[in-house]
């Protein structure tokens, strides 16, 4: 399929230019002013007054995640459709093996679970235990196209790893030149606080937040930074939520260590006042780390500006009210997580660009280009350049919406951004040169591909 996009304004992480784009067989083949139409052209999109950015890459989603309260409510099909409506064309999800399952088996299983995704996808592979085979399994995953791994310092007793095994993962992945992403919260200390609250009858959602203070996130960040230095491994701290953690990360970066930081729209836009109210009103905000203070939000925006934070992911992990109700008498039983894959770009457009907190170039950088670079997808993804995949979002800057569980495409009856007004929305979304969203309607069900990545 050959498509020309005429008269648009192209935005990349480095420039803004008026130019036409020719797409041949899914790849950008020309970027020039006043391109002549080809004989073999299938479609012309007139993008006058519209803005073209690279398709979004969400580095942190959990589709169809198994938990004691059932699977997260979006599978790869429904979640990827929601992502496309919001302008995200590539997803990085996780491989979380069962106890006793090899990393490679779990990877194969996950690749088949993702077969109905309409976005392209890859995974961070999560060692949840250390056996005599783990080193070989990590190296086999690298050969299979995985360059990033994930360790949970929280969730001890299910997927959490202890410090000794965390260090082993860092050593092996560091030696191979890969990257370890880490959920930083001091799991054992949190467990003590959680149990203490419940034993005192403190069972409501706000105690979820009070049992996971910012200090215990920062302490874990410091530990990972220290271990990463000892093992010479690049680390990426997922869902950074607090000012305290940012200070540690900034110091490590200034010392020359390769430490990347990700945050999520909910830490930028929501705060811990959301934990005041009834079970029904507060339970949708039970996610980890929890929502923080307004001062933390400001620090997060500042650190995007300063470049300490490189990427924005959503940690998309929705559960329906009935699933969340598993914890009606005990916050420890509420499945952790919330949806957001659909709203990442429109929220950052409205509350970031339009409120002068970030520029258009920064928007592209943190939602696509940096992510592609860090995770070995660049320049196939994350760029508008000749030779790159034609994954593009064509924005209508005037289109308005009010986010609601009643009109979103995420498969969930809860919406943490309920009532948020947005301005600016994808008019067209192209994935590998095919129009998938056309004037706000989904018009394709072509499935995406598993993206094999390489360590440079």
| Residues of this chain, 280-319, that bind ligand URP according to CB under 6 A | 287-288, 315, 317
- Pairing type for strands 2-11 and 43-46 reads parallel
- Distance between CA atoms of residues 86 and 392, nearest Å: 12
Q: Which of 62, 381, 408, 453 is close enough to bind ligand URP by CB under 6 A?
A: 62
Nearest to 4 by CA among 428, 396, 377: 428
Binding at 282: pick from Zn ion, ligand URP, none (beta carbon under 5-8 Å per type): none
Which residue's CB is nearer to ligand URP, number 287 or number 341? Answer: 287
| Residue 265 CB, nearest approach to ligand URP (Å) | 13
Contact between 122 and 450 (Cβ < 8 Å)? yes
**Pairing assessment for the beta strands 2-11 and 51-54 based on DSSP bridges:** parallel
Helices (H) and strands (E) in the chain, counts: 15, 17
> What percent of the residues of the chain are helix, what percent strand, and what percent coil, each to the nearest 5?
35, 25, 40
The nearer residue to Zn ion, 324 or 431, going by C-beta atoms, is 324
> Among residues 121 and 360, whose Cβ is nearest to ligand URP?
121
Taking the complex as a whole, the smallest distance from the CB of residue 87 to ligand URP amounts, in Å, to: 22
Terminus-to-terminus CA distance in the chain, angstroms? 32
Q: Which is nearer to ligand URP, 183 or 409 (CB)?
A: 183
**Residue 408 site contact among Zn ion, ligand URP, none (CB < 5 to 8 Å, cut-off depends on kind):** none
Smallest distance, ligand URP to C-beta of residue 327, A: 13
* Number of residues forming the site for Zn ion (CB under 5 A): 2
- CA-CA distance, 428 to 393, in Å (whole number)? 6
Strand pairing report for 234-237 and 179-183: parallel
Nearer of residues 130 and 155 to ligand URP, judged by Cβ: 155
Among 93, 219, 296, 315, indicate the residue that binds Zn ion (CB under 5 A): 315
Residues 323-342 that bind ligand URP (CB under 6 A): 336-337
336 binds, among Zn ion, ligand URP, none (CB under 5 to 8 A by kind): ligand URP
Q: Give, in order, the Cα–Cα distances in Å from 267 to each of 16, 160, 172, 299, 344.
A: 29, 23, 32, 10, 12
> Is the Cβ of residue 288 or residue 411 nearer to ligand URP in the bound state?
288
**Six-digit token string for 216:** 């215990």
Which residue, 263 or 336, has its beta carbon nearer to ligand URP?
336
Q: How many other C-beta atoms can be found within 10 angstroms of the C-beta atom of residue 34?
A: 8
- Residues that bind ligand URP (rule: CB under 6 A) add up to a total of 8
Tokens of 331: 């916050």
Choose which of 183, 206, 408, 432 interacts with ligand URP (CB under 6 A): 183
Between CA 382 and CA 58 the distance in angstroms is 11
Binding residues for ligand URP (CB under 6 A):
62, 183, 287-288, 315, 317, 336-337
Binding residues for Zn ion (CB under 5 A):
183, 315
């Amino acid at each position: 399929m050959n498509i020309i996009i005429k008269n648009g304004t192209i935005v990349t992480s480095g420039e803004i230019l008026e130019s036409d784009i020719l797409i041949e067989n899914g790849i950008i083949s020309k970027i020039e002013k006043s391109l002549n139409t080809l004989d073999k052209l299938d479609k012309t999109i007139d993008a006058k007054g519209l803005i073209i950015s690279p398709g979004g890459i969400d580095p942190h989603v959990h589709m169809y995640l198994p938990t004691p309260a059932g699977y997260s409510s979006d599978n790869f099909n429904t979640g990827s459709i929601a992502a496309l409506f919001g302008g995200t064309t590539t997803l990085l999800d996780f491989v979380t093996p069962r106890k006793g399952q090899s990393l490679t088996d779990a990877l194969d299983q996950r690749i088949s679970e993702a077969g109905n995704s309409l976005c392209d996808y890859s995974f961070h592979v999560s060692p949840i235990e250390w056996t005599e085979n783990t080193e070989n399994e990590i190296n086999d995953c690298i050969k299979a196209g995985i360059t990033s791994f994930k360790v949970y310092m929280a969730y001890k007793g299910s997927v959490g790893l202890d410090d000794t095994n965390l260090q082993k993962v860092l050593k092996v992945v560091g030696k191979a030149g890969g990257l370890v992403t880490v959920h930083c919260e001091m799991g054992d200390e949190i467990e003590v606080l959680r149990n203490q609250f419940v034993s005192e009858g403190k069972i409501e959602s706000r105690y979820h937040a009070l049992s996971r203070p910012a200090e215990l996130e920062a302490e874990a960040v410091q530990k990972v930074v220290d271990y990463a230095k000892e093992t010479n491994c690049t680390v990426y701290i997922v869902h950074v939520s607090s000012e305290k953690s940012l200070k540690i990360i900034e110091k490590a970066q200034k010392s020359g260590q390769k430490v990347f930081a990700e945050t999520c729209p909910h830490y930028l836009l929501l705060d811990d006042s959301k934990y005041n109210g009834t079970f029904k009103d507060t339970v949708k905000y039970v996610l980890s780390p929890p929502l923080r203070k307004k001062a933390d939000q400001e620090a997060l925006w500042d650190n995007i500006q300063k470049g300490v934070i490189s990427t924005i992911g959503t940690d998309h992990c929705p559960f329906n009210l009935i699933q969340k109700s598993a914890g009606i008498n005990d916050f420890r039983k509420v499945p952790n997580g919330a949806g957001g894959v659909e709203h990442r770009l429109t929220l950052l457009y409205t509350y970031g660009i339009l409120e002068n907190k970030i520029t258009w170039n920064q928007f592209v950088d943190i939602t696509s280009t940096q992510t592609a670079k860090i995770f070995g997808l660049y320049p196939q993804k994350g760029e508008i350049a000749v030779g790159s995949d034609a994954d593009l979002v064509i924005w209508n800057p005037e289109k308005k919406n009010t986010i609601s569980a009643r009109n979103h495409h995420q498969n969930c009856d809860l919406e943490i951004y309920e009532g948020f007004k947005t301005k600016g929305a994808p008019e067209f979304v192209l994935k590998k040169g095919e129009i998938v969203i056309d004037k706000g309607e989904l018009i394709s069900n072509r499935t995406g591909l598993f993206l094999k990545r390489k360590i440079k």
